[in-house]
Amino acid sequence: MFQKLKLFVSSTRFKTTLWYSILFLALEILLGIFIYFYLYNTLMDNLDFSLKSQAKAILHVVSEKKMDIDHFVPDSIYSDPEDLVWDIIYNEIAFNLRNNFIQINFKDKIVFRTANLNDDTLYFPKRQAAMNLFNFTDSTLSEKPIRCVKLNSGHYKIFVAFPLQNISQTLNSLVHIFIMLAPIFFIVSIIGGGIISAKSLSRIDAIIKKTEEITALNLDEKISGEKYSDEYGRLVKKMNEMISRIKTSIEYMNQFSISAAHELKTPLTILRGETEIALKSRKTPEEYIEVLKSNYEETIRLTKIIDNLFFISKIDHSIIEIKKERISLDEFLASTAKHLKILGLERNIDLVVDSATNSFVELDKELMIQALSNLIDNAIKYGEESNTVTLKGENVSTDKVKISVLNKGEGIPEEMLPKIFDRFFRVESSRNRSTGGVGLGLSVVKAIVSWHNAEIYINSIPGDTTEFSIVMQRIS
């Protein structure tokens, strides 16, 4: 249960939904803040505008009537100047709909104020006197600050004011609406985010399900969805490519183990067979020597195969240490030939050196001798008897040298050249000849050459010359 919950909480679906909801909520809050301030400014602007308009209108009427409060003469209609002002306000400025506070001062004496002022006074403090818009607090009039506009003209000062309570109420309602909406927004965003992420991740689920089904036994199967050009399509394509590469590697490894087992089995079968025959009946000492000789050859062959396999696996796992040294190419080829001359004795083949390059190269002597001995061994094995094998050194350009091993002989058919460096590949299997090893020699050569950042080429004219050449960096 806990494990399942842990899995769910760490899933991309959960995280996407959570982020989506948080983003949604943050947006709602930002929007709320924006609307709040926008509304506050608009309401204040409107209020200021309406206060100013009302003050202007009052001033206009008061000055139109040319009211001279100092020289007011009571008559049957107006017994004092205040009645006159009231009349003006109600008749000429329509209704004081919002129940604003209105006060008119004449020569700094209050000549009129609306009833809602309850004998209280609208005034601007001294330091704000220069302003014509001001907020002030007067607890007897309103809990909230009061917005007041003041207009001066001649002896008149018109004050029109309005408590900001209404604006606060409107804004508070807005805040309440947003607070109430927040959980609804959150739930909707969780559901929406959940649906969207589930929909977009359903293809990932399909990919996971399919990859779970793929094992070494069904690497032919493909994950479907390559046809889409989006990220999932590209992911599926890359995964299918990876599966093909794994399939090729596994096939190669299988082939390698089959070939290795096969090659190891042959000498072992011979060893076993010959030993069994020798044990069946009594033999003369010469016959025993023959059997031992043959067994000895087979064990040598086995050791060679195992050495090569060991070497190849070391190369595959990059655990070979390469110790390069600067060396004269001509001297290196001469000493190698001297060392390997003995290989040709049996077939009466002379190994000759042809190198006057005056060049230096950087190589691991031990590894390069092993590569050249494999090539020379092949040239002797597959070359014409009583002929020569040449070990040649040449400068091919200012910065490259070529080391070649040439022999005359049957050569290698053109169609087999591309496979010649493959592990366990032998031309003899089609030629049906028993000469040689198991087809690992050239793959070892290729690996050594690659480790020297060099290239190997082959040029073979069947029935004539076969040339293996290594092209490498010349250092002087």
| Residue for token pair 């064990």 | 299
- Asked if residue 441 lies in contact with residue 456, where contact means CB atoms within 8 angstroms, the answer is no
Does position 102 bind ligand ADP by CB under 6 A?
Answer: no
Residue 47 is a binding residue for ligand ADP (CB under 6 A): no
CB of 343 to ligand ADP, least distance (A): 13
Among the listed residues 151, 427, 449, 472, the single contact to ligand ADP using CB under 6 A: 427
Cα distance between residue 227 and residue 237, in whole Å? 9
- Interaction between residue 163 and ligand ADP (CB under 6 A): no
- Of 316-324, 355-363, 378-386, 449-457, the window that binds ligand ADP (rule: CB under 6 A) is 378-386
* Interacting residue with ligand ADP among 62, 407, 446, 454 (CB under 6 A): 407
What is the total count of residues that contact ligand ADP (CB under 6 A)?
21
411 lines the binding site for ligand ADP (CB under 6 A): yes
Q: Which of 442, 449, 454, 470 binds ligand ADP (CB under 6 A)?
A: 442
Which residue, 440 or 472, has its beta carbon nearer to ligand ADP? Answer: 440
Question: CB 468 → ligand ADP: shortest distance, Å?
Answer: 7
Compose the 330-359 pattern: x for residues touching ligand ADP by CB under 6 A, - for all others: ------------------------------
| Tokens encoding 24 | 């949604």
Piece of the chain touching ligand ADP by CB under 6 A; list 127-135, 290-298, 339-347, 422-430? 422-430
Q: How many residues does the chain have?
A: 476
Whole-angstrom distance, CA of residue 201 vs CA of residue 12: 8
Closest distance between ligand ADP and the C-beta of residue 318, in Å? 21
Q: Does 436 bind ligand ADP (CB under 6 A)?
A: yes
Q: Which is nearer to ligand ADP, 243 or 379 (CB)?
A: 379
| 394 binds ligand ADP per the rule CB under 6 A | no
Yes or no: say if 370 and 448 are a contact pair by the CB < 8 Å rule: yes
User: Rounded to the nearest whole angstrom, what is the least distance from the CB of residue 441 to ligand ADP in the complex?
Assistant: 3
Burial environment of residue 270 by CB neighbours within 10 A (0 to 12, 13 to 18, 19 or more): middle
Site membership for ligand ADP, residue 382 (CB under 6 A):
yes
Does the footprint of ligand ADP cover residue 437 (CB under 6 A)? yes
Among 28, 48, 226, 428, binds ligand ADP (CB under 6 A): 428
Of the listed pieces 104-112, 167-175, 310-318, 424-432, which binds ligand ADP according to CB under 6 A?
424-432
* 84 contacts ligand ADP (rule: CB under 6 A): no
* Residues within the interface to ligand ADP (CB under 6 A): 374, 378-379, 382, 407, 409, 411-412, 420, 425-428, 436-442, 466
